[in-house]
Structure 1
Amino acid sequence: MSALICGSIAFDTLMSFEGRFADEILPDHVHRLNVSFLVPNLDRQFGGCAGNIAYSLNLLGGEGYAMGTVGKDFHPYQDWLDQHGISRKYVKEIEDTYCAQAYITSDADGNQFTAFHPGAMNHAHEQHVPTDDSIDLGVIAPDGKDGMVQHAKQFADAGIDFIFDPGQGLPMFDGDELKTAIDQAAYVSVNEYEAQVIGEKTGLSVAEIAARVKAFIITSGADGATIHVGGRTINVPAATPASVNDPTGCGDAFRAGLIVGLQEGYDWEITGRMATLMGTIKVEHDGTQNHALTRDEFRARFEREFERKVA
């Protein structure tokens, strides 16, 4: 059985400014801002939520496909996916567009300027959820809004359980649209801040959202996660990182652990820990697809961290 992960496939261009933005921007001239920053350090990473989740899912031996739209500059990413044995069956190239791109400049204080170009991601709605390939679980991750809405409906119409994970796409949805997506979904997975935003937009409490789905999962970074399921609350601890290098993409790695736990039929105590461990492993590495391990290594670390066994 396979998971279909609908979401962005993007390049992340990361740049470091060794000074402080605050020292370069004059407060009384922000209405005529024209500044330039020397960025001696630049790194280009493979990213996007669908790509990131598929990458971590593949590490765990999970079955699944990334589904997304890409542009004419996709070829290096294509080679990367091929190198790691990640299927491109549902990756569609849109002519005369570029892949989605995030350009992020950070200063010495950790402040960031980010420019995001959606590019081919705006064509996500041109893809359709397949009813073959034994798809038994879906993921709606941040993508073009029309694509997210359409794919959620297609999963629901096909009777395929899916995880609604709006993430950075959350601001695009109003309260009624979020209620519709929640009612269509089997699972909702968000971080603490996103859970608060959903509550404010929909007027629904955590308990009311949990009552509409099979499980409502809220991540809390270093504090682990909380799973609201069947009228009870399960507090899932995080694993202890060997180092904290880069939190970018931790939520996507978490989702991969969640998918594998669901596919393999583990209870929520185990599934939640599989998810938090994958998030911890990711935070130990820079970038979103630079962590690597075998399932045997994952199993051994799981048992060390939680004193429980997993296959």
Structure 2
Amino acid sequence: MTKTSLICGSLATDTIMQFPGRFSESLLADQLHKVNVSFLVPTMRTEFGGCSGNIAYSLKMLGGDPRIVGVMGQDSAAYLERLQKLGISTANIMIKADSYNAQCFVTADADNNQINAFHPGAMSFAHENPIANAGPAKIAIISPDGDQGMLKHAADLAELGIPFMFDPG
């Protein structure tokens, strides 16, 4: 029997910015019906994220053999290279050339309040990436992803007799 785990879910690029002030000084309670603000963010970093990416990384560090079933976009090269360097298979990651990776843009202030914007991008096509192509597995995890994909992957795993955990996030 294999010790492989299928990890279904999002693969995202996170852009994290730090605003040294406080949002509360720029967002006025009596003006929230017409918000138009801009924050200077002197620090910014990019992280590889998404639920399946984070879970697969952790499982790999614990000695597991995770296999990601996900969808990425035209801007996936750096993330795929990182997964390959970590020894995490990218064979079951579908690439949608006319889409971008899922992306989260986070701006945090001095009090660690956050303003986020999330673009689902390629993860919206998760239902087009069939579980059957991923091969045998001992267990699977369905983590947050495109809603149609989460439902399809649950049905596919049940049909294949692969036990799974479902975490809709």
Aligned to 1:54: 56
Relative contact order: is structure 1 or structure 2 higher (C-alpha 8 Å, sep ≥ 6)?
2
What do residues 61-82 of structure 1 show as CA deviations (whole Å, max 9, x unaligned)? 2122011000000011011111
Structure with more helix by fraction: 1
Q: CA RMSD in A?
A: 1.1
Alignment gaps of 5+ in structure 1: 168-311
Task: Describe the shift of the 1:132–1:16 C-alpha distance in structure 2 as closer, same or farther (beyond 3 A).
Answer: closer
Task: Describe the shift of the 1:132–1:28 C-alpha distance in structure 2 as closer, same or farther (beyond 3 A).
Answer: closer
Q: How many residues align?
A: 167
Q: Is the 8 A contact 2:69 2:134 kept in 1?
A: no
Aligned to 1:86: 88
Q: Identify the match of residue 99 of structure 1 among 98, 101, 104.
A: 101
Task: Describe the shift of the 1:132–1:68 C-alpha distance in structure 2 as closer, same or farther (beyond 3 A).
Answer: closer
- Distance between the aligned counterparts of 1:102 and 1:165, measured in 2? 19
Aligned to 2:118: 116
Q: Mapping of 1:1-311 within 5 angstroms? A: 1=2, 2-130=4-132, 133-167=135-169
Where 2:103 maps in the other structure, the secondary structure is strand
Question: Partner amino acid for 2:90?
Answer: R
- Distance between the aligned counterparts of 1:50 and 1:124, measured in 2? 12
Structure with more strand by fraction: 2
- Distance between the aligned counterparts of 1:70 and 1:128, measured in 2? 14
What do residues 210-229 of structure 1 show as CA deviations (whole Å, max 9, x unaligned)? xxxxxxxxxxxxxxxxxxxx
76-85 or 5-14: bigger deviation: 76-85
What do residues 274-299 of structure 1 show as CA deviations (whole Å, max 9, x unaligned)? xxxxxxxxxxxxxxxxxxxxxxxxxx
Q: Identity of paired residues, percent?
A: 49
